[in-house]
Amino acid sequence: MATAAAKGPADACYMLLHPNLDVETPNLQTLRRNLERGTDEIKAEALQQVITGTLQGENYEQLLMHIIRFVMPTRNKSLKKLLLFYWEVCPKYAADGTLKHETILICNALMNDLQHPNEFIRGATLRALTKMREAEILEPLIGPVRDCLEHRHAYVRKNAVVAISSIYRLQPHLIPDAPELIHAFLSAEADMTCRRNALNMLTLN
């Protein structure tokens, strides 16, 4: 089981994966081939192995562009969910401490999923944003996140509230009007789960 935790107790969040311990972890060449040419099922298995290995300290930075090129365009829902986990743990910084140029492509992928016609993909993407702390990635996504507050599905709206709360807590300068925004949302919202999330946000922040 692989576990990833946030930096402090106030930000605690965990990812649990269950790798197949009976199967030897493939080398970089095999992972690269599976990510590039495999079926959706093979790509999913390879991506989970990359995520698990990354959490265990393996260096898979060389696979970032392969994943962006050959896995990111997928329409497979299981692969999309794994991609959201991967964006959370993948190496986003270069050796000099600056964000890698590839993060622009990650940001574009997240933006597309925030505008996806499937409400579950939108909701999962909004939840994934709560585990990202890079202002450079989050800033271009603020508009689509705000738009999700008006989505017709409560599942999207409730996760939009959680995402806004997280961004405001970690990077308040990106969405300084978050309390007012959520207060106005609460006044017009009828769904009880959405209202509860909004109240939690206003209380905790």
Cβ count within 10 A of residue 157: 24
Cα–Cα distance measured from residue 77 to residue 94, given in angstroms and rounded to the nearest whole number: 30
Residue indicated by tokens 């922040």: 205
Distances (CA, A) of 46 to 4, 50, 109, 185: 19, 6, 20, 41
Cα-based torsion angle of the residue sequence 197, 119, 13, 50 in order, rounded to the nearest 10 degrees: -170
Single-letter residue type at 119: E
C-beta atoms surrounding 197 within 10 Å: 23
CA distance 100 to 122: 25
The residues, ordered by sequence, that sit 6+ positions from 158 with a Cβ below 8 Å of its Cβ are: 123, 191, 193, 194, 197
**pLDDT digits 0-9 by tens, 91-130:** 888 889 888 999 999 999 999 999 999 999 999 999 999 9
pLDDT at 106: 92
More confident residue, 145 or 96: 145
pLDDT, tens digit, 9 for 90 and up, residues 182-204: 999 999 999 999 999 999 999 98
The pLDDT score that the predictor gives to residue 16 is 54
Query: What pLDDT was estimated at residue 22?
Result: 57
Identify the pLDDT of residue 14: 46
Using DSSP's 3-state secondary structure scheme, residue 93 falls into strand
Q: List, for residues 2-36, the tens digit of each pLDDT value.
A: 444 443 333 434 455 555 555 566 789 999 999 99
pLDDT at 9: 34
State which H helix or E strand residue 166 sits in. Answer: helix 154-170
pLDDT over 50 (residue 159): yes
Distance, CA of 70 to CA of 181 (rounded, Å): 38
Residue 205 has pLDDT above 70, yes or no: no
Give the pLDDT confidence of 42-62 residue by residue, as tens digits: 999 999 999 999 998 899 999
In the beta sheet, which residues pair with residue 93? 99
